[in-house]
Chain A
Amino acid sequence: MKPHISTKNLSVWYGEHHVLNNISIDIPDKKITVIIGPSGCGKTTLLKSFNRLIELQDGVKISGKVLLDGEDIYDPSCDITHLRKKMGLLFQKPQVLPMSIYENVAYGLRIHGTKDKEELDYSVEHYLKEASLWNEVKDRLNTSAWKLSIGQQQRLCLARGMAIEPEVILGDEPTAALDPISAERIEQRFLGLKNKYSIVLVTHILRQARRLADYVIFLYFGNLIEHGPAEAVFNHPKDPRTQAYIDGRFFEEHTS
């Protein structure tokens, strides 16, 4: 199995706070990888270190390597805008741009060089359909994006992220703000997309993780506890902490 993204001894600090500790993992190509772990364990941090968005934080320190197709993304020669185009990130909290619905999707296409109006129209429609938002917004593409409901904004962000045609989709709890029906639709989208993209998802919903994951990573207070094919991790976890988490129990630290 050829990894698409790999990290080698990746550590991240916010100031003195050591948030990720020596993480070495391989993220498989064209599969859905799900990152699970309790709140505050560093899942968002890990995702943001894949597209170097982490660097925008104040006082952040990074050591180790992140390789995309074998190339070190923290190498000074790496073109950061190109890297971010390849890694579409969906944020935990949807953030629309201060423009119309249409322009939100078209923005990424425009900055990456699409000028043709017909091509833009086509892509906007196509990706809004991909994100199952088209039917709700097709009559008001020129109204402000911030007027959409949060769940609709989340899907708009998904459309916007897919429109730049990334190689990898990084989703930080992409269905957290959605009703079960829309969440189900987005899940179906991800399953349909995984033969085109490598997908990395963070989720707190274990049922969702079981439905989607090909590969699972379990983080616990910044440490990589367990990773492997979904089947193995969910059914035969090696570590008692993983077992406790997927059973929905608190793990008593002193028993380890």
Chain B
Amino acid sequence: MAKKYFDKRNTEEAVFKCLMVLSIFIVAVSLISILATVLVKGIGALNIAMLTKTPEGGYYLGKTGGILNAILGSVILGVGATLMSLVISLPVVCYLNLYLKKNSRFALLVRFSLDVLWGVPSIVYGAFGFAAMLFLGLKASLLSGTVTVALLITPIMARSMDEIIRIIPFELKEAAYALGSTRLETAFKIIFKQAQPAILAATLVAFGRGIGDAACVLFTAGFTDSLPYSLFKPVATLPLAIFFQLGTPFPEVQKRGYAAALILTLLILTVSLSARFLSKRFTEHLLK
């Protein structure tokens, strides 16, 4: 009897372990095949000129030159939107976790709203940004694009940080207050410090999401062949460069689209890795 019971539990364990390994396998294979596709199709067209020149020989579908306009545009727009979103997210998270009680209804409402906003498709943000832009009398520009992307990534950033900060032990807050810290000191010197890896991770996820989104910038940032030089002028972005180039009937131009995709992927990868590497130095004292 006891033997049988034992067998059943062992079988259960084995079956579920198999399922887990299978799932991990699926994730790994998808990731590798995406990277491989981009790499194989794009590497041929990748050269120094791609990284250092603006499009030549015609409009942005140009067969020569590079996509420096889109690379710079995306970096500026992505970094700008991420910073803007960070400036909005930190106070929201601070208020939710330090100024409101745990069972506050208002906090519940804010978290629910952010979750809904997280789920809104980016094309809707794009459309909203476009409408707001017209209403304010602005044109497609770096500024409009940045603000729209910031709106898109703020729920992602705020909620990801919030989820981690919520589970920081209550005792840590108590200890800070007991020493006579104000709420703001508790937030910035203790809680955000302890949550720093989470804040960084949330920022990187939001950056990746923002820099890679095409629908948001389609109507709001526009596109141009020139390098970004003004907040109020249209700006080129990598997702749109990919979109336009892949959409042409010319195989040479399509290849350059894949090269642009490869550049975008490498860009996000580099930023993530270097940020994580840098942050290692500052996390030594964090409570484990």
Contacts and interface: CB of A to CB of B under 8 A. Distances in A.
Given A95-B171, A96-B287, A144-B284, A89 B178 contact: yes
Interface string B185-208: 100011001100000000000000
B181 interface: yes
A62 to B, nearest CB: 15
Contacts of B179: 84-85, 107-108, 111, 160-161, 164
B45 to A, nearest CB: 48
Given A97-B172, A98-B193, A144-B285, A84 B178 contact: yes
Nearest to B102: A58
A163 to B, nearest CB: 9
A51 interface: yes
B285 A107 contact: no
A59 B101 CA distance: 9
Interface string B147-179: 000000000000000000000011111111111
B288 to A, nearest CB: 6
Contacts of B189: 107, 111
B103 interface: yes
A167 B174 CA distance: 19
B182 interface: yes
A108 B181 CA distance: 8
What interface size band does chain A fall in? 20 to 34
Contacts of A161: 178-179
A59 B103 contact: yes
Interface in A97-152: 97-100, 103, 107-108, 111-112, 144-146
Contacts of B137: none
B177 A53 contact: yes
A58 B103 contact: yes
A56 interface: yes
A189 interface: no
Interface in A38-96: 51, 53, 56, 58-59, 81-85, 88-89, 91, 93, 95-96
Contacts of B57: none
Contacts of A112: 180
Interface in B102-121: 102-103
A128 to B, nearest CB: 16
Contacts of A164: 179-180
Given A56-B177, A85-B180, A88-B178, 14 more contacts: A51-B178, A59-B103, A96-B175, A97-B172, A97-B175, A98-B285, A99-B193, A100-B285, A108-B179, A111-B179, A111-B182, A146-B285, A146-B288, A164-B180
12 contacts: A58-B101, A58-B103, A83-B180, A84-B179, A91-B175, A96-B175, A99-B285, A107-B189, A112-B180, A146-B285, A161-B179, A164-B179
Interface of A: 51, 53, 56, 58-59, 81-85, 88-89, 91, 93, 95-100, 103, 107-108, 111-112, 144-146, 157, 160-161, 164
